[in-house]
Structure 1
Amino acid sequence: MTTAVLSIAMLWLQDAATDPAAMPPVTKAHSSALLDMLHNSGPMALTVLVLLLVMSLFSWAVMIAKWRAFNDADTQNKRFVRAFRKSGRLSEIAAVADQFRPSPLVSVFHEITDEYQRQSGGRGTPPNPAALERSAQTASSEALTIMESRMTWLATIAQVAPFVGLFGTVMGIIDAFHGLGTAGAATLRAVAPGISEALITTAAGLVVAVPALMGYNQLTARLREFASRMDDFGRELLNAIENAALTAPQALVNEQRPLDPRDDRRPY
């Protein structure tokens, strides 16, 4: 196909050299040239361009929606962590945890505390800490699955759009050679429409694919950050539960310890 494009370019140069009037005016605006290419495009090229336009609009809609959702989740994550670290009891933070949605940390918190309630009623040392860890991993996986929705469309568009544009390029080259055969002479007028279709569909495919690929990479990086934060928060919550379980029995023993008869202090 590259050889074919070079051949057509040589024909264009030869025709322009022999016919200076065939050269486009230098002062012609770029937008007018683009409109002319669109006007000269055939049904196949227009179909490809419309398909690429739909893919571009959908990819931008997904990227904007995901970026806003991730920003909201990040803001609520920070607020929830601050509230969690300031609170002294799990029951207090559980009562207000739903106020911090759509933070994915809320799902991790509820999953771990629910498992803790099932094991020991929310008091004492959990008999099966491994189950709490599995609950945290399950909650993190479910939250990430929800956040990853429609992300595969970005990857698909980034990979498919160049091939859709290439299809339009191939059809434009075929149309250009068909024009050569119909005209019976190697002139610029015969191949210009096909070249226009080939160039505009190729450029459109790249314009659609590049933003989709960049958006997918950026959003994927943010998803990895959310996954790390959920893992860190799960470990922090498990540590808080274990520390509370260890300190509670000691405080109870101190309260119930009998009074030493040798102690001069007496209750009033």
Structure 2
Amino acid sequence: MSMVHSPAAHRRPAIIGALVLAVVALSGCGTTTTNEPKVKLPPVGAAWDYQIGGAYEPPKGVEIVSRDRADDPAPGLYNVCYVNAFQTQPDEKWPSRLLLHDTKGEVVEDPEWDGESVLDITTAAKREEAAEKVGAWFEECADKGFDAVEPDNLDTFTRWPDLLTADQATAYVSLLAKRAHDLGLAIAQKNTGPLATRRATAGLDFAVVEECGRYDECGAFAKPYKDRVVVVEYEDKGMAKACDDFGDRLSVVRRDRDVSTPDDDGYVRDVC
């Protein structure tokens, strides 16, 4: 199995104060524009499981599963394919021209995860080239039978604001959305509350959110996505908050931070 990118909860942007939320209705057929193919969207409020640390038999009643692109989808369920789309994986080679460099000319590395470099999405040409590579992974997800993709690390612009912008992130994820839709895949917004108001512009269909209970931002995603949001919490307090405020509306699961499998001593899974 390929190296799985661990949860992005450790890389949260600063808590945003008051977010101005634009409520954009999702079309009944599941497309973001009339020019795009129809895509299947995840059921609202359904039980789900976050399995990006390794695939295993989904618990009884689960309808939605997210797994790493190296794994196969779960038969008969709604399957989301995890792809690290804004940073590199340690075992993958990217050309230097597509890696973000700081003002000293050094490649920007994620301090939390060894071997992960940040992608340079600052120009249209670089965004197009990066989207081609990531789009090939989307095609692999589609060929395996996944229903949707979850492109991680959309929030790089919040962690390196002197080098990247929200507009660049929006432009890049829009390319990814077009590629996903062309393949018949839905595409999720991963975290990054400030971009939820750009849902329609970016062409995103639903949201996969880590620790919105802990950071009191589930509402930032619930409104624009009409509750088509799946939430994973890693701590008791965050789980309690998410369940109290949105447990009857959103799909919420508690997992351990390593997103481990049931045969691991650290495995944790709970629901509201």
Normalised to the residue count of structure 2, the TM-score between the two structures is: 0.21
Structure richer in helix, relative to its length: 1
Normalised to the residue count of structure 1, the TM-score between the two structures is: 0.21
Between structure 1 and structure 2, the one with the greater Rg is 1
Say which structure, 1 or 2, has more relative contact order (CA 8 Å, 6+ apart): 1
Structure richer in strand, relative to its length: 2
